Amino acid sequence: MQSAVRRRPVQRRSLERFERILDSCAELLDEVGYTGLTTKEVARRAQVPIGTLYQFFPGIEGLLGALAERNLEHFVDRLSRRVEAEQPTHVGTLVDLAVEEYVAMHRAVPGFGVVDFGAVGVEDHDSIHLLDDVLDNNSAVAERLWTLVSGLLAAEDTDPAHPRPNPRLALRVALECADAILRLAFRTDPDGDPVLIAECKRLLRVYLA
């Protein structure tokens, strides 16, 4: 996976600036949207010189890519902790945990409704490759999640009378479905339509099992 960051900070002061820039980017996304974002305004909000921003990020796409990377890392960390605590033995339980953590982040994390693990609702080449130069965003997310979910997905694929796709492909398709339904849920209700969220869980449970 290619990094969207030009230079990753090491010293504490630089790391604080780096995170402040990403925080400011996320806040502005909620205010002006994906297409209204500028590096100049992000730097102003973060109270750093524009040159400092460009030390870390090559431009807007790099900045958004870094935010998507951070969101994905936080999601995987949250989901991993839930899995460790609850030890799911069925893929349906894992689906519930994953959807719940995504919904919780959408409700609480600034900018997440505009750029979660990619630019929501934007389909140009740059926006669908925020996480990786080759893989589209959902494929990159699937690769990131594979080690966490592969054991349960493989365990479900045991009925020769009802063969399923390759588990990696199944995960990829499941992410596409979840992306579309959860996007609809939050378009219908800013807090996420609970009926659509429940339907997303039901669809993924049935498909993956």
Per-residue model confidence as pLDDT tens digits over 34-56: 989 999 999 999 999 999 999 99
Tokens of 152: 């349960």
CA distances for 133 relative to 3, 37, 127, angstroms: 9, 21, 11
H or E element: which one contains 128? Answer: none
Residue-wise DSSP of 131-179: S-SSS-HHHHHHHHHHHHHHHHHHHH---TTS----HHHHHHHHHHHHH
4 inside domain:
no
Range of the domain at 126: 67-208
Q: What is the pLDDT of residue 123?
A: 78
d(CA 36, CA 48): 20
* Residue 18 belongs to a domain: no
Percent of the chain with pLDDT over 70: 91
- What mean pLDDT value characterizes the chain? 90
The stretch 77-88 carries a mean pLDDT of 95
Q: What is the mean pLDDT of residues 152-167?
A: 66
pTM of the model: 0.90
Please report, for the domain that includes residue 108, its CATH number. Answer: 1.10.357.10
Count of domains in the chain? 1
